[in-house]
Amino acid sequence: MTQTECSCEVPEKGAGAIFCKRHECDKSRRMVQLCQMGARGEEPGLGYWRAWEEGGGPRQKQSEPGVVRKAASYTKAVAKHAASGFKKRSPEEIERIYTTICEPCEFYNPEEGGCRVCGCRVGRGKRALFNKIAMASQHCPKGKW
């Protein structure tokens, strides 16, 4: 596997995120590992490294949708959720999507707990009206889940 120039120390298992000075963002244990060894792209992990180097990696500051766009996106999601009979995903599926897809995503905003593309809140919560992942009728605007 190819090593990158990442100099962050991998946090101990169960520890919180660390702040990466080079990329100016918080990184979880898994994200530091991806940065050091790479994990997507032509060589394992280099896609994440390059994304952070270019300023578009997971948890780096990016522009957010405005209030009107967030409200419209949320209203559309709730209407579709209602039309589906308020079907929800299982707690295990919510956790899997959040942990493996949303949390390390370049469009996830940890301060807002939401998506930078659609503006909806995403997280571990089971209450669908406060968590787009919990709504079985909803999907990632980038097609990741």
Taking only the tens place, the pLDDT of each residue in 66-96 is 777 788 888 999 999 999 999 999 999 999 9
Say how far apart CA 57 and CA 46 lie, in whole Å: 11
The predicted structure's pLDDT at residue 7: 78
**Residue of 16, 20, 26 lying closest to 4 (CA atoms):** 20
Residue 16 confidence (pLDDT): 76
| DSSP structure string for 79-132 | HHHHHTTS-B--HHHHHHHIIIIITT-TTEETTTTEETTT--B-SS---GGG-G
pLDDT digits (tens, 9 = 90+) for 95-106: 999 999 999 998
Tell me what pLDDT residue 46 has.
Answer: 64
pLDDT of residue 40: 45
User: Which residues of the chain fall below pLDDT 50?
Assistant: 1, 39-42
The Cβ-side half-sphere exposure at 29, using a 13 Å CA radius, reads 7
| Residues 132, 142: Cα–Cα separation, whole Å | 14
pTM: 0.56
Average confidence score pLDDT of the chain = 82
- Tokens at 95, concatenated: 């956790």
Which helix H or strand E contains 27, and what residues bound it? strand 25-27
